[in-house]
């Protein structure tokens, strides 16, 4: 049996973390979590997870965006799949920048509340061997 995939969840909503953790662990994933960006970034560097679930609005409403930028500067994390999960678009209606417009270096953006089946399917997709192979190939490119 292969090693379980590791998912790092960076989110300050402990109830949401507990629910997602139960969902992913029941599907065979190993889940670690951090309640703020600074701790999350540190944990990501040491853990080098297979996937990161990242909140945006934590102690500050743009905290997750800064964490994502910093993650991408770390060679070991530069291609790690990241799913950004946030309610920023509903909480801050003035912010209408399309997450697909190329400015967000994430694999995927999911608006909260997140449909569990959808989340699980995306986690499976992004941690699948073919995705990991594609990410490794990208890393090898000059």
Partner 1 sequence: MKILKMSKNNLDLFVSVLPAFGEVYAPVKRGDGYAFERPSLWSDVQMNYSRTILPPKKLLLPPREITFVFDPDKGFRDLLAEASKPQVLFGVHSYDIYGLNILDRVFAQAKYPDPYYIKRRKATAVIGVDFVPDEKHCAGSMNADFVDHGFDLFLSDIGDSYLMLVGTSRGDDMVVMSGCLMQQPTAADFEEYKKRSRARRDAYTTRLDLDALPEILEMEYHSKVWDDFGSKCLSCGSCSMVCPTCYCFDIGDETDLGSRAGRRVRSWDSCLLKTHALVAGGENFREERSSRVKFRFYHKQRGFVAEYGRPSCVGCGRCVAVCPAEINIITVIETIRGERDGNASGATASS
Site size with partner 1, rule: CB under 8 A: 22
Q: Does 38 bind partner 1 (CB under 8 A)?
A: yes
Both tokens assigned to 120: 């699980």
Q: Does 70 bind partner 1 (CB under 8 A)?
A: yes
Q: Does 89 bind partner 1 (CB under 8 A)?
A: no
Among 1, 46, 102, 129, binds partner 1 (CB under 8 A): 102
Q: Does 69 bind partner 1 (CB under 8 A)?
A: yes
Task: Kindly calculate the radius of gyration of the chain based on its CA atoms and give it in whole angstroms.
Answer: 14
Tell the smallest beta-carbon distance from residue 119 to partner 1 (Å).
23
Considering only 20-28, 43-51, 56-64, 74-82, which stretch makes contact with partner 1 by CB under 8 A?
56-64
Tell the smallest beta-carbon distance from residue 43 to partner 1 (Å).
15
**Cα–Cα distance between 78 and 103 in angstroms, integer?**
15
Among 2, 15, 100, 101, binds partner 1 (CB under 8 A): 101
The three-state DSSP-derived secondary structure of the chain is CCCCCEEEEECCCHHHHHHHHHHHHHCCCEEEEECCHHHHHHHHHHHCCCEEEECCCCCCCCHHHHHHHHHHHCHHHCCCCEEEEECHHHHCCCCCCCCCCCCCCCCEEEECCCCHHHHHHHHHHHCCHHHHHHHHHHHHCC
Q: Does 97 bind partner 1 (CB under 8 A)?
A: yes
Chain positions contacting partner 1, by CB under 8 A: 37-38, 59-63, 65-66, 69-70, 73, 92, 94-98, 101-103, 105
């Amino acid at each position: 049996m292969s090693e379980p995939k590791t998912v790092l969840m960076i989110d300050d909503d402990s109830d949401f973390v507990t629910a997602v953790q139960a969902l992913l662990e029941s599907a065979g994933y190993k889940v670690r979590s951090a309640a703020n960006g600074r701790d999350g970034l540190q944990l990501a560097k040491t853990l080098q997870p297979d996937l990161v679930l990242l909140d945006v609005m934590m102690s500050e409403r743009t905290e997750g965006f800064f964490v994502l930028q910093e993650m991408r500067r770390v060679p070991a994390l530069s291609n790690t799949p990241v799913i950004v999960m946030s309610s920023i678009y509903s909480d801050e209606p003035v912010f209408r920048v399309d997450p697909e417009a190329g400015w967000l270096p994430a694999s995927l953006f999911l608006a909260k509340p997140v449909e569990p089946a959808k989340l699980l399917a995306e986690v499976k997709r992004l941690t699948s061997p073919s995705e990991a192979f594609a990410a490794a190939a990208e890393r090898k490119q000059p």
